[in-house]
A and B are shown apart, each in its own frame.
Chain A
Amino acid sequence: MPRIPAQPSPMAQPRSFVWTRRVVLTLLLIFVLVPVYVMLSSSLKNLQDVQGSFRWIPSGLTVKPYVDIWKTIPLAHYFMNSLIVSVSATLFSVAVAIFASYGVSRYRFPGRRLFTVTVLSTQMFPGILFLLPLYLIFVNIGNSTGITLNGSRLGLIITYLTFSLPFSIWMLVGYFDSIPRDLDEAAKVDGCGPMGALFRVVVPAAVPGIVAVCVYAFMTAWGEVLFASVMTNESTRTLAVGLREYATQNDVYWNQVMAASLVVSVPVVAGFLLLQRYLVAGLTAGAVK
């Protein structure tokens, strides 16, 4: 976190500025934290507390919701599915992005600009536009070749890894560009091929950027709802679909839902906050270009 150099103001700040800052930031802090507080406090309430009128202070604290939720819905099962899908999508996405970014950053070739523009522009497509055709394609691939993509984790992994690809490539190209070319030239003089230069010089120097890309790719896959809701079945259901389904029922144990939401959020939020300076640095590197 302290990586960002704070700028001491060249002149004393007037009171109006300091007060504006205090008031605005306090209001924002409340806005941001109220849902977090609701999630945390409700997850520790007993059932009566969440079935009556809302209470700021729980009448008693209990960890029972954290125990019960695993039985109310197959949470462990969803968790495993989400974990397998997200980790695989992240690893493949980062590997593919490293190769592509190296190509874009280190070589000048016809079609280079077309590639970057095409990949980035896929970001703006509405998901709903290619959801229907992709679903049909997956169903038909399954029918004609026997490779089940619809309803399988594999289909979801392939889909998710392309979601984080454009941003990952964009960010890594910025990172690779900032690594002096002389370094890989030196490695090539020492007898490394282009791949040797990539893995011995460029990748080790770009670790912060790669970490940031991993975080981003994992978050993207972990939180996706739309494609998961169409492309999974009972046995491959992810957390996003499973929790949403339970939470929109009529009779919901809100304390258990809040407990589950907290459990699925903690790994991502903790990882993000620990590594946020890499992500911010990566964003900055990308923005400089």
Chain B
Amino acid sequence: MTATAPPRSASEAGPDSGKSAGRGRLRPRIPQRLRNIALPYLLLLPALALELLIHIVPMVFGILISFKSLTLFYIRHWSSAPWAGFDNYKIAVKIHQPIGQALLHSFWVTIAFTVLSVGLSWLIGTAAAILMQDTFRGRALLRAIFLVPYALPVYAAVITWTFMFQQNTGLVNHVLHDQLHVTSDKPFWLIGGNSFWALVIVSVWKSWPFAFLALMAGLQNIPRELYEAAAMDGAGVWQQIRKITMPSLRPVNQVLVLVLFLWTFNDFNTPYVMFGQSAPHQADLISIHIYQSSFITWNFGSGSAMSVLLLLFLLLVTAVYLLITSRRRGDADA
């Protein structure tokens, strides 16, 4: 894929790669100084334009339409949709009305799901990375296998899990009921209360390899001398992990936990592939909930208001998190 770059550059650089005087003759109007100032901005321009088109403008636009009552009728001429003031927001936060109640429920489900999934993924990733810090036979192969869930396309992985969770034909019930006799009958996993746990398991399976990958990279940067010095002082392996490895991983963990949190909280793919458009009540994650209330009912105004509330919440959490962890890091450095 990258092989295309060098030949193209050669032909591009060809004409003006001669004497700089020759280039000056070609473009005499623009002074060298101005060109030097403009160049970095030109380099960033494509990236900036795309980010603006796909992320920034839609976000501003989204905030705008959250104040409109934008229903299916107005989609083709959204600007003529009537202004709704804060109505969409009021409906979303009225927790004793059906819509607000459902949103709040979905919010709590998402919080529980995210805390469980991130906690477990981080724990497993950390354990695996530390246990695999030293060489042993089969380490490279094991590492490759552990990265498979991360490399698999999300939908292929989740579809396979959906098959495993089928009530009659799935592996999970076969093992629990037929082989281990833990359950008296075959429970449903994709509807009802169990669906929440099914979602957590799939999410952990998918996300822990990323934690593992990031932490393995982090472990590379711990100087070996630290361990040698500790060993000289008589610290055992467990003590070394507690006193050297864990504190050294703190900067990686600061970013990793935040990224995992945001990804998991916003996860749409897993529940959508598992349950389709109508998630079970007990596993009604917020992104699915908003998707449903926008694209099923075609009420974009209230869907946008919910999205904005979600963004505000995420901004708040991120700001508080960075404030707390950075301060603690500062203390540790001082």
Contacts and interface: CB of A to CB of B under 8 A. Distances in A.
A204 interface: yes
Contacts of A272: 147, 150-151
B39 A13 contact: no
A133 B20 CA distance: 48
A240 interface: yes
A269 B148 contact: yes
A54 B149 contact: no
B300 A136 contact: yes
A24 B131 contact: yes
B155 A225 contact: yes
Contact of A128 (B61, B78, B287): B287
B38 to A, nearest CB: 10
A191 interface: yes
B95 interface: no
B155 A143 contact: no
A72 B213 CA distance: 38
Contacts of A232: none
Interface string A215-239: 0000100111110011000000001
Contact of A284 (B217, B265, B290, B300): B217
A161 to B, nearest CB: 7
Given A125-B311, A214-B2, A158 B50 contact: yes
A1 B144 contact: yes
Nearest to A281: B217
Contacts of A118: 51, 56
A276 to B, nearest CB: 6
Given A11-B237, A128-B287, A192-B13, A4 B51 contact: no
B6 interface: yes
A20 B128 CA distance: 11
Contact of B78 (A140, A254, A287): A140
B272 A244 contact: yes
B19 A8 contact: no
For the side of the interface on A, what is the size category? 35 or more
Contacts of B23: 193
A204 B7 CA distance: 11
A137 interface: yes
Contacts of B268: 127-128, 225-226
Contact of B213 (A94, A224, A280): A280
Interface of A: 1-2, 4-11, 13-14, 16-17, 20-21, 24-25, 28-29, 31-36, 38-39, 42, 50-54, 90-91, 94-100, 102-104, 106-107, 109, 111-112, 115, 118-119, 122-134, 136-137, 139-140, 143, 158-159, 161-162, 165, 169, 191-196, 198-200, 203-204, 207, 210-211, 214, 219, 222-226, 229-230, 239-240, 243-244, 247-248, 254, 257-258, 261-262, 264-265, 268-269, 272-273, 276, 279-280, 283-284, 287-288
Given A210-B2, A268-B153, A284-B220, 15 more contacts: A7-B134, A36-B148, A96-B47, A97-B47, A109-B37, A129-B310, A133-B57, A136-B61, A137-B57, A162-B50, A210-B5, A223-B153, A223-B155, A248-B162, A261-B160
15 contacts: A1-B144, A42-B163, A53-B174, A54-B174, A97-B47, A100-B46, A132-B294, A133-B61, A136-B300, A199-B5, A248-B275, A248-B276, A264-B153, A268-B151, A272-B147
Interface of B: 1-2, 4-6, 8-10, 12-13, 16-20, 23, 37, 39-44, 46-48, 50-51, 53-59, 61-62, 65, 75-76, 78, 124, 127-128, 131-136, 139-140, 142-157, 159-164, 166, 168-171, 173-174, 178, 205, 213-214, 216-218, 220-221, 224, 227-228, 231, 236-238, 252, 259, 262, 265-266, 268-269, 272-273, 275-276, 287, 290-291, 294-295, 300, 303-304, 307-308, 310-311, 314, 318
